[in-house]
Amino acid sequence: MRFLYIFPHPDDECFGPAPGMARQLREGHEVHLLTLTRGGATKQRHRLGLTVGEMGEVRLAEMRRVEEVLGLTGMEVLDLPDSGLAEIDPRLIEDVVREAILELVPDVVVTYAVHGISGFRDHLVTHAVVKRVYCELRDEAPDRAPRRLALFTLAEEEEDAGDGPFTLRTSPPDLIDAGIAISRSDLAKGLEALACYETYREVIERADPLGRIGDTIWFELFEESHAPPLSSLEERLPPRAAGGTG
70-108 tens-digit pLDDT: 999 999 999 999 999 999 999 999 999 999 999 999 999
pLDDT at 160 over 80: no
pLDDT at 161 over 90: no
Measured CA to CA, the distance from residue 23 to residue 180 in angstroms comes to 9
Measured CA to CA, the distance from residue 239 to residue 246 in angstroms comes to 9
Per the prediction, the chain carries an average pLDDT of 93
Q: How confident is the model at residue 157 (pLDDT cuts 50, 70, 90)?
A: low
Class of domain 2-221: alpha beta
Q: What is the DSSP string of 127-194?
A: HHHHHHHHHHHHHH-TTTS-SEEEEEE-BTT-TTTT-SSSPPP-B-GGG--EEEE--HHHHHHHHHHH
pLDDT at 22 over 50: yes
Domain ranges (residues) in the chain:
2-221
According to the model, what pLDDT value does residue 117 have? 95
pLDDT at 162 over 80: no
Give buried/exposed letters for 142-159 (b at 16+ CB in 10 A, else e): eebbbbbbbbbbbbeebe
Residues with Cβ within 8 Å of residue 22, at least 6 apart in sequence: 70, 182, 185, 186, 189, 190, 193
Measured CA to CA, the distance from residue 244 to residue 144 in angstroms comes to 6
pLDDT at 220 over 60: yes
Measured CA to CA, the distance from residue 241 to residue 246 in angstroms comes to 9
In eight-state DSSP terms, residue 85 is G
pLDDT at 243 over 70: no
According to the model, what pLDDT value does residue 245 have? 47
* Average pLDDT for 234-246: 76
According to the model, what pLDDT value does residue 80 have? 98
pLDDT at 159 over 60: no
Cβ atoms of 43 and 71 closer than 8 Å: no
The proportion of the chain whose per-residue pLDDT surpasses 90, expressed as a percent, equals: 85
Nearest to 170 by CA among 109, 213, 228: 213
The proportion of the chain whose per-residue pLDDT surpasses 70, expressed as a percent, equals: 94
Helix (H) or strand (E) holding 94: helix 90-104
For 40-72, how does the pLDDT look when each residue is reduced to its tens digit (9 = 90+)? Answer: 998 889 888 899 999 999 999 999 999 999 999
pTM: 0.94
According to the model, what pLDDT value does residue 242 have? 63
According to the model, what pLDDT value does residue 246 have? 47
Planar angle of CA 51, 56, 61, nearest 5 degrees: 130
According to the model, what pLDDT value does residue 109 have? 98
